[in-house]
């Protein structure tokens, strides 16, 4: 099986399994966005089959790699991957209920760790801001607990729209500045959005924006299995965050729509599926995955399961086990109530009427010493927001005492970044922003 998994031709067939499952679900629902799953099928297949560390039998394994589908409209890409790799919550029946009320396969992905959905995505750009938070969380936890317990990567699928949103630029700047080398973006560079060709609305060199922000950037053919694999290897080897610009054809395989605006979510008909089956020589009927391919997909989880088992053994004998498990379970440490009571007594005795953000900073400062998992990020950490206090900074080179990251004037991104830290179970993010009324 391992040898099979290494053959590019086998991975191409596995990519087609994503395509047909997605089209079958979209036809069954009557609507959906086929552009992303059809255009990013090869990218996703290479990632899952050869690089991703994951264990569908244990979806919340703390040291798993994180995957964020920032272009959340392409949700069938994620559901197809979760079903094919064996996540129990994304059964075939769940896929058949795609876009129905209450389905785990909602129109856009909704946070559900047990189903393998790391975060809610749909508003373009927010997913990559979550991914930035997850990468910060990983670096923070790795510095607290060491690489034996924390050593994973964060991967995000990213559309043109994510990179047109202002929040996207904040993400690019901050991730490059912080040197988050375990963060990798796959940009679905299909030159099309829901509104037509990207050159209608953007004329800058997007890859260059990443380069000048200190990212490792590669530009490849997003349907070439070998090129995708080589790019992922290079991304892992480079100490900077990586952006792989994957030139793709939106809705690849639906001849009537591919490469065009209608590829994004134009209505599909059974005749489109028939034509795609003829094109790719797909033998199976609706919602049917040929047994050999299904087995290959499930086998992609084997390395992750083995890595998880080894990790569990390391955790079992680690002197940091209790503290790690406490942090993961979000149980507050001893002493936090006393710290709050002492603060209240001090505040009452002083008799000063504080402005509210000052009080917030005082309370945070009272907790910092007893709650090591508090991570503060703030648009302005000096006097006006009052949250810097005794924390030292999280920087590109110093993650050791790293509980405060400066995010000066990146307010749009702040809440989503904090959400990513929370979703990654790193601890308690504490954010403080200037909001627009
Ligand atoms: C913040 C935000 N604005 C608008 C939308 C609506 N929307 C969904 S997909 C889309 C186009 C996205 O284009 P792209 O990322 O290139 O996706 P593709 O067409 O390549 O699948 C838009 C505008 C949204 N989901 N979120
Ligand atoms: Mg696009």
159 lines ligand 1 (CB under 6 A): yes
Confidence of residue 429 (pLDDT cuts 50, 70, 90): confident
Residue 410 clears pLDDT 80, i.e. is over it: no
Rounded to the nearest whole angstrom, what is the distance from the C-alpha of residue 94 to the centroid of ligand 2?
27
pLDDT of residue 1: 40
Inform me whether the pLDDT recorded for 3 exceeds 50.
Answer: no
Residue 157, beta-bridge partner list: 69, 186
Residue 75 pLDDT > 50: yes
Residue 413 has pLDDT above 70, yes or no: no
- 362 vs 2, which has greater pLDDT? 362
Q: How far apart are CA 96 and CA 189, in angstroms?
A: 29
Q: What is the mean pLDDT of residues 138-144?
A: 91
pLDDT of residue 4: 46
**Per-domain residue ranges of the chain:** 8-310, 336-432
Percentage of the chain exceeding pLDDT 70: 92
Tokens encoding 207 = 């890859």
Spell out which residues have Cβ within 5 A of ligand 2, the ion.
Answer: 159-160, 190, 192-193
Q: Is the pLDDT of residue 401 over 70?
A: no
**Which residues are within 8 A (CB) of 383 and not within 5 positions of it... i.e. 6 or more apart?**
none
Name the residue of 34, 73, 127, 416 whose CB sits within 8 Å of the most ligand 1 atoms, as the mutation to test its pocket: 73
Tell me the CA–centroid distance for residue 62 and ligand 2, in Å.
Answer: 32
pLDDT at 70 over 90: yes
Q: Provide the edge-to-edge strand list for the sheet that holds 154-158.
A: 66-69, 154-158, 183-189, 242-247, 216-221
**Counting ligands in written order, which one lies closest to the CA of residue 261?**
1
Residue-level pLDDT at 376: 81
Predicted pLDDT at 314:
98
| pLDDT at residue 428 greater than cutoff 90 | no
Ligand 1 atom closest to the Cα of residue 71 is: 15
Length of the chain: 437
Query: Rounded mean pLDDT of 171-185?
Result: 96
Residue 188 CA: nearest ligand 1 atom is 20
What is the model's pLDDT at position 435? 59
What are the DSSP calls for 220-245, one per residue?
EETT-HHHHHHHHHHHHHSSS-EEEE
Q: Report the pLDDT value the prediction gives residue 224, as an integer from 0 to 100.
A: 98
**Token pair recorded at residue 402:** 């790293």
Ligand 1 contact, 412 CB (< 6 A): no
Distance CA 304, CA 289 (A): 23
Atom of ligand 1 nearest to the CA of 195: 11
Mean pLDDT, residues 353-369 taken together:
87
354 vs 56, higher pLDDT: 56
Q: Is 365 in the pocket of ligand 1 (CB under 6 A)?
A: no
**120-125: average pLDDT:** 96
- pLDDT, residue 381, reads 60
Tell me how far apart the alpha carbons of residues 181 and 91 are, in angstroms, rounded to a whole number.
Answer: 34
Q: What is the pTM of this model?
A: 0.95
Measured in Å, residue 252 CA sits from the centre of ligand 2 at 13
CATH superfamily of 336-432: Thiamin diphosphate (ThDP)-binding fold, Pyr/PP domains (3.40.50.970)
pLDDT tens track for 198-248? 999 999 999 999 999 999 999 999 999 999 999 999 999 999 999 999 999
Tell me how far apart the alpha carbons of residues 225 and 396 are, in angstroms, rounded to a whole number: 32
Lowest mean pLDDT among 19-23, 79-83, 216-220, 356-360: 356-360
Which is it for strands 192-193 and 374-378: parallel, antiparallel or unpaired? unpaired
Average the pLDDT over 286-307 and give the result.
97
Confidence at residue 2, expressed as pLDDT on a 0 to 100 scale:
43
Are the C-beta atoms of 176 and 240 separated by less than 8 Å?
A: yes
- Arch. (CATH architecture) of 8-310: 3-Layer(aba) Sandwich (3.40)
For ligand 1, say whether the CB of 70 is within 6 Å of any of its atoms.
no
Average pLDDT, the chain: 92
């Amino acid at each position: 099986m391992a040898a099979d998994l290494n053959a590019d031709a086998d991975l191409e067939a596995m990519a087609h399994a994503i395509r047909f499952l997605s089209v079958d679900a979209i036809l069954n629902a009557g609507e959906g966005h086929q552009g992303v799953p059809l255009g990013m099928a090869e990218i996703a297949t290479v990632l899952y089959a050869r690089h991703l560390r994951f264990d569908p039998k244990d979806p919340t394994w703390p040291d798993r790699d994180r995957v964020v589908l920032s272009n959340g409209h392409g949700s069938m890409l994620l559901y197809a991957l979760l079903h094919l790799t064996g996540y129990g919550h994304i059964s075939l029946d769940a896929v058949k209920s795609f876009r129905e009320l209450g389905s785990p396969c909602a129109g856009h992905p909704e946070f559900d760790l047990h189903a393998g959905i790391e975060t809610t995505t749909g508003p373009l750009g927010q997913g990559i801001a979550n991914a930035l938070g997850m990468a910060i969380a990983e670096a923070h936890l790795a510095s607290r607990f060491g690489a034996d317990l924390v050593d994973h990567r964060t991967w995000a699928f990213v559309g043109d729209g994510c990179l047109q949103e202002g929040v996207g630029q904040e993400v690019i700047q901050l991730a490059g500045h912080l040197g988050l080398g375990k963060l990798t973006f796959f940009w679905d560079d299909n030159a099309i959005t829901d509104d037509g060709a990207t050159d209608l609305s953007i004329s800058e060199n997007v890859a260059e924006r990443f380069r000048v922000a200190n990212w490792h950037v590669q530009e490849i053919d997003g349907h070439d299995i070998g090129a995708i694999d080589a790019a992922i290897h290079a991304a892992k080897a480079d100490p900077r965050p990586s952006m792989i610009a994957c030139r793709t054809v939106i809705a690849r395989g639906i001849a009537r729509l591919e490469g065009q605006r209608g590829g994004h979510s134009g209505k599909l008909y059974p005749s489109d599926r028939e034509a795609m089956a003829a094109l790719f020589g797909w033998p199976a009927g609706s919602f049917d995955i040929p047994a050999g391919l299904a087995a290959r997909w499930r086998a992609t989880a084997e390395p992750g399961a083995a890595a998880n088992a080894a990790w569990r053994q390391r955790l079992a004998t680690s002197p940091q086990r209790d503290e790690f498990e406490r942090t993961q379970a979000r149980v507050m440490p001893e002493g936090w109530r006393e710290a709050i009571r002492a603060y209240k007594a001090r505040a009452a005795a002083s008799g000063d009427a504080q402005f509210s953000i000052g009080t917030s900073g005082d309370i945070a400062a009272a907790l910092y010493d007893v709650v090591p998992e508090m991570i503060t990020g703030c648009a302005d950490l000096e006097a006006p927001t009052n949250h810097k206090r005794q924390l030292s900074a999280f920087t590109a080179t110093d993650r050791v005492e790293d509980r405060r990251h400066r995010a000066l004037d990146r307010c749009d991104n702040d809440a989503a970044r904090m959400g990513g830290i929370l979703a990654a179970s790193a601890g308690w993010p504490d954010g403080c922003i200037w909001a627009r009324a």
